[in-house]
Amino acid sequence: MKPLALTMGDPAGISGELSLKAWLSLHDSGLPFVVLDDPIRLTRLAASLGLAVPVRAIADAAETTAVFRSALPVLAVPLAVAAAPGCPDRANARAVVASIETAAKLALAGHVGGVVTNPINKAALYQAGFAYPGHTEFLADLTGAKGRQIMMLASPMLRVVPVTVHASLRDSISMLTTAAIVAASRTTAAALRRDFGIAAPRLAIAGLNPHAGEQGALGAEEATLIQPAIDTLRADGIDVSGPWPPDTMFTATARGRYDVAICMYHDQALIPLKTLDMDHGVNVTLGLPIVRTSPDHGTAFDIAGKGIADATSLLAAMALAGALAARGSG
């Protein structure tokens, strides 16, 4: 099986520590991976944290498997300035972006089985001229899938897909359309069948308003936007239910009735998933020609450099990427 590519993430955050700890967990028997990072930084970081991780710079991703059991293979992406834990520096934005670009190219060329992205600090990238809301949109552009990308958060307890993603709540509501709900749901249903092995996926469509609009008393979007989408999806033969009242659809009993919740905006989807299973949550981008996953947490600048970062979510992201790659997705 092909190795995975792991990106740098923000070098001032916990990403480097997570990469080192992932190697410690996986080098004996796990799926090999190559890190797109600065090998000097990782070597120094391992020493400062007391982590016994030999770091080896390689020239080609093809060397990954042979190196992985004895050392952490790194395809060099040099930093412009030394990273200071907890202090993001726009001078390193180019290296962060280059790491993502290289990983995507390796996946598109078939040199790696998938891409796992460490967390980035969007504000630092924006200051350096980064023109995308986040990883998801950037990877869609890099892989020729712009406009088809869908963000899913998945854990053993819950899968969620937000129809609108990186926008303010006010803008998310104005962006919401029947067509967007239908497109997100169709992509999700296809991915659950192809990538997750669910032969007949069940989709639960969330309402937008309290009590799913209370028959129009608390908002009309359920009738004017969401129900028409449900009708279209049912006509497609997709097993879809809703609109569900958002305040009750994430209980243990309710979750047993569907395979994924299609939510109307970012926090409606991510708050329940992160509350239920933060450690094992994984961000998956659907609709790309490559496999891409990511841990569901951020850069954690407040604990960077302290040696206490938990690699559980990154390991879950790598395990899911490996499983998706093995099923031949992308």
Report CA torsion sign: 130, 134, 137, 142. positive
Helix (H, G, I), strand (E, B) or coil at 181: helix
Q: Is residue 9 very low, low, confident or very high in pLDDT (cuts 50, 70, 90)?
A: very high
**Average pLDDT of every residue of the chain:** 94
How, if at all, do strands 33-37 and 4-7 pair?
parallel
Full-model pTM: 0.90
148 or 183, higher pLDDT: 183
Amino acid (1-letter code) at residue 121: N
What lies within 8 Å, CB to CB, of 157 at 6+ separation is 255, 273, 276, 277, 280
Spell out where the chain has E strands.
4-7, 33-37, 55-58, 72-76, 114-116, 150-154, 159-162, 202-206, 239-244, 260-263, 282-286, 292-295
Q: How far apart are CA 195 and CA 328, in angstroms?
A: 8
In this structure, how many other beta carbons lie within 10 angstroms of the beta carbon of residue 177? Answer: 14
What confidence score (pLDDT) does residue 279 get?
84
pLDDT digits (tens, 9 = 90+) for 206-226: 999 999 878 888 788 999 999
What lies within 8 Å, CB to CB, of 206 at 6+ separation is 212, 242, 243, 244, 246, 249, 261, 262, 263, 264, 268
What confidence score (pLDDT) does residue 152 get?
95
Q: Which among 297, 245, 263, 287 is positioned nearest to 165, based on CA atoms?
A: 263
Q: For 51, what's the count of Cα atoms within 13 Å in the CB-facing half-sphere?
A: 27
What confidence score (pLDDT) does residue 6 get?
98
pLDDT digits (tens, 9 = 90+) for 313-329: 999 999 999 999 998 74
SS3 letters for 267-279? Answer: HHHHHHHHHHHCC
How, if at all, do strands 159-162 and 150-154 pair?
antiparallel
Q: What is the mean pLDDT of residues 16-24?
A: 98
pLDDT digits (tens, 9 = 90+) for 115-170: 999 999 888 888 888 888 888 889 999 999 988 889 999 999 999 999 998 788 89
Lowest mean pLDDT among 77-81, 106-110, 136-140: 136-140
Fold match between 1-149+287-330 and 150-277? yes
- Assign domain 150-277 to its CATH superfamily: Isopropylmalate Dehydrogenase (3.40.718.10)
Per 3-state DSSP, what percentage of the chain is helix, strand, and coil (rounded to 5)? 45, 15, 40
CATH number assigned to the domain with residue range 1-149+287-330, chosen from the 4 options 1.10.3720.10, 3.40.718.10, 3.90.25.10, 3.40.190.10: 3.40.718.10
Q: Give the rounded percent of residues in the chain with a pLDDT score beyond 90.
A: 82
The conformational region for residue 202 under phi > 0 = left, psi -120 to 50 = alpha, else beta, is beta
For the chain, give every domain's residue range. Answer: 1-149+287-330, 150-277
Would you state the structure tokens that stand for residue 146, as one six-digit string?
């712009």
Please give the helix or strand (H or E) that residue 16 lies within, else none: helix 15-26
- Is residue 53 over pLDDT 90? yes
Amino acid (1-letter code) at residue 220: A
